[in-house]
Structure 1
Amino acid sequence: MKNTRLTWVDVTKGLLMILVVIGHYPGHLDFPLGKYIYWFHMPAFFLLSGMFFKPILEKGKTKEAIYKRFMQLIVPYLFFLVMITVIRYGMEIGAGNTDLSWYLHDLWTLVIGGRFARGAYGVFWFVTTLFFAYLFFIVMTKYLSRAKQFVLLIALYVLAHLESIYAMQIIGGAPDKASQTIPMIWNIDVAFMALVYFAIGFYWKDFWMAISNRALAYAIIAASIVVTLDWNKVIDYHLSMKFLRYEHAVLDLLVPLAFTTIIVGVFQRITQRMPLTVLQRIEKHSISIMYLHIFTDIVLNDYFRYGLIGFTAAGLLIPIGASIVISKLVPYGKLLLGGFRGRKPKKDRQPLPI
């Protein structure tokens, strides 16, 4: 049963990674594909991460846990940030761009990161948000009672929506521009919302590990109702964590949870009969795919014309190839791809006989 669970987790993440690539297609996505992808794919990543969170209860283990997550998340973040930037600047210099102010402004946006880093860095916000959500959750679970944790999560959820109201309704305009009126390094404020999804994965771990038929049926009904209402323009629901677009306090929980339940529940049943190896392999190289799929298109689109299928194929296959090369040929390649596993715990010494 344990292997089955691990299989469906990998398969689910593999599908979500494909949706990430599709969601960044620079051309026109027929309604409602792009809109519906954003309803759930990023919340699902935070939820799945929360499922495997282990509270730090022992003294002296907090720094070790933080260091491990730093090595797994921030080291690859910095590696791909530097690699892409060096190549980009080489391309800019080759094209004749010698404007020092352009490079200084670009570097400043990369330092701030989050929603301010655009283009090739469009997905970098997720990693820093996940890292800070993890740090916040360590503190919560270590120093607060379960009741106080719930109160804090509710407060952060409300705060996130108040920030969204300020950006989307008071400032107004395009969500990406409106959200950038609120200065914040590395999208730390988005961690308030991410923390809620992360916590749901952690607190409901038993539920997610074995989605019941009844829960799956309810999720399908709920998702069908929301899709029907949106399709018929009774509602016009959007969700964009990166740009602080949280439009409905109820639907921002209901919709991601319903869709995630459906995907997890379906894959739990399918992987009992077939391993879906392709999706597992995509998940294995997810770090490289996440960081490089947009940049791959930036490099290729001057030389090739392709639609959504070609964009998705290139955004998967080329980063997978890069991942294999980095892991095998670059010094500490596996470490740079998030493969840090931490120190192996020492075996407890046998007590001396009395």
Structure 2
Amino acid sequence: MIERNPGLDTSRGIAMLLVVIGHNPILADMSPTLINFIFLFHVAAFFFISGFLIKPDGVDFNKLFFRIIAPFLLFGAALSLVKALVRKEDALLAFIGVLWGTGATSSSSQLWFLPALFLTLLSAQWIVGRWQRNLGLMAKCIDLAIILLLAYGALQLPDPPVEMLRRPGVAGSLGWIWNIDLVPVALLFCLVGHLVASNRLLAHVPMWALLVISILATVSVFILGARTDLNMRVMSPYLLAMIGGVAGAIMVLMLGQLVASTEILASFLTRVGRHTMSILLFHILFQNAALNILGRLAPHPSSSVALTGATVGVAAGLLCPMVGAMILDHYMPILRRILQQKG
């Protein structure tokens, strides 16, 4: 069984922070290069870290469903209904778009990640179970090479004939139901993470050396032109983008290990890492709300004001969902006791 590394929550917190930054429209306008660099590896880091947590003794399907798919469906359905009513759109069509589950059809683009994560974890669990039957490292690497080719082929698939499900104003690839065309890519990152963890492939290299090497590798492939946006089905050039994703994921992991040795910063990022679901669901809503308020207060901002607004937007997108989840965590046991007493 793979033991959970104490720095994984911190690493997840760093990855979540990068997601919020990557979805900040002000920073996207001010520094598209920074956003493109973040997009090269921030989602890959989540799948990579998920591979560290896969256990060979099986997965609880019901627990996984209620932890990932239930929030996806509840939040997506509620948001799609509200948006359909406000914009006077077809509510049924919007709800079907949520069920389709891609970034172009869901009520909020980031929701694509959840069904993709669900299918990836199920697939990874099956493969890891197969790997436990005394398969050697070479056989596992052959499996990864096959998945690498399948992932490339899946990215070349044409859009399905369901254009009517596309949200108004959303461009780019429509994607297949529940992002099954992205699952091989996500599965590759996940299995590489599991292979690294289960074989302790990074254990004999100093942490600082791994951090420097991963930074240099990630920056190098980015300079060479590697670009990734999984929601848009972009990985170009494919092999360079894959290398950038793995290198960037290792970079995030190493940063998490280093930060875990601190106190204040580690405590904050650990909380972020433990509340990634609420932040993922709500960060765009809170970030956009904060930016809309700032836009009304300063309709013609200077560069310094814009940077301040970007910082406030990121803080709102990160802190508001996290604080809300922490409050819910605090009062939920109390509510359960009250309900048990009444029952």
Give per-residue Cα distances to partners, 1:23-68, cap 9 Å, x unaligned.
1112314142101101111111001111110123xxxxx5x62122
Greater shift, 217-226 or 281-290, is seen at 217-226
Structure 1 counterpart of 2:205, one-letter code: S
> What is residue 252 of structure 2 aligned with on the other side?
263
Cα offset, 1:226, TM superposition: 5.4
Cα offset, 1:71, TM superposition: 1.9
> What is residue 108 of structure 1 aligned with on the other side?
96
Structure 2 counterpart of 1:157, one-letter code: L
Which of 185, 210, 234 lines up with 1:193 in the alignment?
185
Q: What SS class does the counterpart of residue 231 from structure 2 fall into? A: coil
Q: 1:154 to 1:288 in 2, by over 3 A?
A: same
> What is residue 171 of structure 1 aligned with on the other side?
none
Structure 2 counterpart of 1:207, one-letter code: R
Give per-residue Cα distances to partners, 1:163-215, cap 9 Å, x unaligned.
434669xxxxxxx84522x5x111122111111111011111053774722x7
Q: 1:137 to 1:224 in 2, by over 3 A?
A: closer
Mapped partners of 1:142, 1:46: distance in 2? 18
Identify unmatched segments of 5+ residues in structure 1: 57-61, 169-175, 335-354
Cα offset, 1:225, TM superposition: 5.6
Give per-residue Cα distances to partners, 1:68-126, cap 9 Å, x unaligned.
21122112222322343344355x0xxxx445xx32332222121123235x5221111
1:295 paired with 2:285, answer yes
1:141 paired with 2:135, answer no
Mapped partners of 2:324, 2:78: distance in 1? 12
> What is residue 243 of structure 2 aligned with on the other side?
254
Structure 2 counterpart of 1:132, one-letter code: L
> What is residue 55 of structure 1 aligned with on the other side?
56
> What is residue 164 of structure 2 aligned with on the other side?
none
Q: 1:44 to 1:299 in 2, by over 3 A?
A: same
Greater shift, 219-228 or 125-134, is seen at 219-228
Identity %: 22
Q: CA RMSD in A?
A: 3.3
Q: 1:219 to 1:316 in 2, by over 3 A?
A: closer
Cα offset, 1:333, TM superposition: 9.1
Question: Which structure carries more relative contact order (alpha carbon 8 Å, separation 6+)?
Answer: 1
**5 Å matches for 1:226-265?**
227=219, 230-231=222-223, 235-265=224-254
> What is residue 24 of structure 2 aligned with on the other side?
25
Q: 1:30 to 1:279 in 2, by over 3 A?
A: same
Give per-residue Cα distances to partners, 1:127-182, cap 9 Å, x unaligned.
111110111123223356536654443223212213434669xxxxxxx84522x5
Q: Please say if residues 296 and 315 of structure 1, whose CA atoms lie closer than 8 Å, have aligned partners that are also in contact.
A: yes
> What is residue 340 of structure 2 aligned with on the other side?
none
> What is residue 75 of structure 2 aligned with on the other side?
80
Structure 1 counterpart of 2:8, one-letter code: V
Mapped partners of 2:204, 2:77: distance in 1? 41
**5 Å matches for 1:113-124?**
113-117=101-105, 121-124=108-111
1:286 paired with 2:280, answer no
Paired residues in the alignment total 305
Structure 1 counterpart of 2:152, one-letter code: H
Q: Please say if residues 220 and 258 of structure 1, whose CA atoms lie closer than 8 Å, have aligned partners that are also in contact.
A: no
Q: What is the TM-score with the length of structure 1 in the denominator?
A: 0.74
Greater shift, 276-285 or 8-17, is seen at 276-285
